[in-house]
């Protein structure tokens, strides 16, 4: 967009200019952060006492600010300064509505002052949203530039997880064996999930340590079943027994090593194997990305061979379908987007893509090899001449090995401010893996994703 100021003597009554703007919920969050106005009437899913449940309305002064965009960008343009502005509001604006803001020169006053009629109308029905009058100082010097070097903004909120948690809260609370919740963060993850009606936890471990952790959290364990065990391995074995007895539909990791948790599940006779390898999946809610992003495998399989990658992809597709992605688009990552015989990950990626075409992997669209940029960015994909359904649109990212997966997941978390829900699939029930550094949102999301997936498995058995 070109920006050029128009001087006082260039303007005449009747001249006008306008801009169109699609209003989004992110606009309301940005305005709240910039203005300090946190009125829940304007914020999606307000949770304060008495907060409205209806769709939020745009702040009035946000709508009014669209007038200043026309004044400052077009007419009179760069260099314009406000003297005064009157406003009368006629209608409310909501998320997803498109507006046209317009200014029209009414009069010219001595001293370089312009008087302009101002209005905002809704696109579609042409309803008048607001009207008023502005008095401004016209630019005193000619200013011209082609674009403004302003930083882009990404709203750091986690709407995908909020939606998954809301969906899971309407399901029956999932009976869950919580293994060794003997440390505050581990116990708190189970308890807050129970408070949100996501889980019905059975706590397995040292009762004295659990009581001490609960006291530190200021919470009571009176409402929960507790099974006493002496060792971590014994607690994990008890969780497996509860699954085999049909008492629980999920297992949640507490304060113990992942190897100790999984070891009894992998027992060929008395474990929880179902014929697939155990694989780990991060469901990531990345600010600015329009869908949940699944990353696999970042925690279990160190250097997976092709057969293991088949299970990694299939487990991820199954989970993606559970959380609402009807036909998941799976990008199998490598350093390049072409097959290179010297790069094993690119060969595996091509084979996985072909296996999906032949029906050996079901339920999703698999493409590879893809480099990270052309897996998630449409512009990068088109630059490389990639026009498949996955390139630029990947919803599942399959990494070559645990190093790449762990780095990718942590980069998304610590640099891109994503939240990650972690599950292990391949067992008879989903296994919830939480880290001590996980936020309350990540813990709730992990429980929600597990509950949604377990519910789909339950419905498939009926």
Nearest to 298 by CA among 178, 413, 427: 413
- Report pLDDT digits (tens) over 44-94: 754 444 444 467 899 999 999 999 999 999 999 999 999 999 999 999 999
pLDDT at residue 358 in the model: 96
- Report pLDDT digits (tens) over 302-355: 999 999 999 999 999 999 999 999 999 999 999 999 999 999 999 999 999 999
User: Secondary structure of 402-418 in the HEC alphabet?
Assistant: HHHHHHHHHHHHHCCCC
CA–CA gap between residue 334 and residue 311 (Å, rounded): 18
Mean pLDDT of 19-32: 88
Q: Is the distance from CB of 250 to CB of 176 less than 8 angstroms?
A: yes
Token output for 258: 């992942």
CA–CA gap between residue 219 and residue 361 (Å, rounded): 46
Per domain, the residue ranges of the chain are 3-145, 158-274, 276-426
The CA-CA-CA angle for residues 40, 43, 46, to 5°, reads: 55
Is the domain defined by 3-145 classed in CATH 3.30.430.20?
A: no
CA–CA gap between residue 104 and residue 96 (Å, rounded): 26
User: Mapping DSSP to helix (H, G, I), strand (E, B) and coil, where does residue 178 land?
Assistant: strand
Mean pLDDT of 380-399: 92
Nearest to 299 by CA among 170, 438, 194: 438
- Chain-wide mean pLDDT for the chain? 91
Q: Give the distance from CA 441 to its chain's centroid.
A: 11
For 286-411, strand residue ranges (E) read 293-296, 329-333, 365-370, 396-398
- Report pLDDT digits (tens) over 183-229: 998 999 999 999 999 999 999 999 999 999 999 999 999 999 999 99
Question: Is the CA virtual torsion 330, 332, 336, 340 positive or negative?
Answer: negative
DSSP state of 287: T
pLDDT at residue 52 in the model: 43
Nearest to 309 by CA among 404, 242, 375, 196: 404
Is the domain defined by 276-426 classed in CATH 3.40.50.720?
A: no
The CA-CA-CA angle for residues 239, 293, 298, to 5°, reads: 50
Beta carbons within 8 Å of 116's beta carbon, 6+ residues apart: 71, 75, 103, 104, 105, 106, 133, 134, 135, 136
For 237-278, strand residue ranges (E) read 250-253
Mark out the alpha helices in 124-244 (DSSP H runs): 159-169, 184-195, 207-217, 232-244
DSSP state of 431: E
CA–CA gap between residue 376 and residue 288 (Å, rounded): 12
pLDDT at residue 149 in the model: 67
Beta carbons within 8 Å of 290's beta carbon, 6+ residues apart: none
Model pTM? 0.75
User: Secondary structure of 104-117 in the HEC alphabet?
Assistant: EEEEEECCCEEEEE
pLDDT at residue 378 in the model: 87
- Report pLDDT digits (tens) over 107-152: 999 999 999 999 999 998 999 999 999 999 999 888 887 766 677 6
Element (H, E) at 45: none
The CA-CA-CA angle for residues 166, 167, 170, to 5°, reads: 95
Nearest to 254 by CA among 97, 383, 80, 432: 432
Q: Give the distance from CA 10 to its chain's centroid.
A: 49
In the chain, pLDDT over 90 holds for what percent of residues? Answer: 78
CA–CA gap between residue 290 and residue 94 (Å, rounded): 19
pLDDT at residue 48 in the model: 40
pLDDT tops 60 at residue 12: yes
* Topology of the domain comprising 158-274: Rossmann fold (3.40.50)
Measured from the Cβ of residue 100, the count of other Cβ atoms closer than 10 Å reads 17
């Amino acid at each position: 967009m070109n920006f050029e100021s128009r001087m006082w003597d260039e303007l005449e009554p009747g001249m006008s200019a306008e801009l169109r703007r699609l209003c989004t919920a992110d606009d309301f969050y940005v305005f709240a952060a910039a203005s300090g106005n946190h009125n829940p009437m304007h914020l999606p899913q307000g949770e304060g006492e008495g907060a409205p449940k209806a769709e939020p309305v745009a702040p009035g002064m946000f709508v009014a600010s669209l007038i200043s965009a026309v004044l400052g960008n077009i007419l009179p343009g760069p260099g314009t300064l406000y003297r005064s502005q009157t406003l009368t509001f006629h209608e409310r604006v909501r998320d997803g509505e498109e507006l046209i803001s317009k200014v029209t020169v009414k009069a010219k006053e001595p001293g370089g002052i312009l008087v302009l009629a101002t209005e905002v109308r809704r696109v579609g029905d042409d309803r008048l949203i607001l009207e008023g009058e502005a008095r401004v100082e016209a630019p005193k010097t000619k200013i011209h530039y082609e674009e403004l070097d302003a930083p882009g903004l990404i709203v750091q909120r986690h709407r995908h997880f909020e939606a998954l948690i809301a969906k899971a809260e309407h399901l029956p609370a999932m009976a869950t064996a919580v293994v060794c919740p003997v440390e505050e963060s581990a116990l708190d993850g189970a308890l807050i999930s129970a408070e949100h009606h996501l889980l019905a936890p059975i706590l397995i471990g040292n009762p004295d340590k659990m009581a001490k952790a609960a006291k530190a959290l200021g919470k009571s364990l009176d409402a929960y079943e507790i099974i006493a065990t002496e060792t971590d391995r014994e607690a994990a074995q008890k969780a497996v027994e509860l699954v085999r007895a049909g008492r629980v539909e999920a297992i949640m990791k507490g304060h113990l090593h992942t190897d100790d948790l999984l070891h009894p599940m992998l027992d060929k006779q008395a474990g929880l194997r179902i014929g697939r390898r155990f694989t780990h999946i991060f469901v990531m809610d990345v600010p600015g990305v329009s869908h949940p992003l699944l990353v696999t495998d970042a925690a279990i399989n160190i250097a997976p061979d092709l057969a293991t990658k088949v299970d990694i992809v299939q487990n991820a597709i199954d989970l993606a379908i559970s959380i609402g992605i009807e036909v998941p688009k799976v990008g199998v990552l490598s350093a390049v987007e072409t097959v290179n015989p010297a790069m094993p990950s690119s060969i595996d990626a091509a084979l996985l893509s072909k296996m999906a075409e032949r029906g050996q992997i079901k339920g999703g669209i698999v493409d590879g090899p893809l480099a990270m940029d052309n897996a998630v960015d449409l512009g990068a994909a088109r630059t490389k001449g990639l026009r498949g359904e996955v390139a630029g649109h990947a919803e599942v990212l399959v990494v070559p090995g645990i190093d790449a997966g762990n780095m990718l997941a942590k980069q998304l978390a610590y640099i891109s401010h994503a939240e990650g829900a972690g599950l292990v699939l391949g067992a008879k029930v989903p296994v919830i893996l939480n880290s001590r550094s996980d936020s309350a949102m990540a813990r709730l999301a992990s429980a929600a994703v597990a509950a949604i997936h377990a519910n789909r498995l339950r419905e498939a058995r009926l």
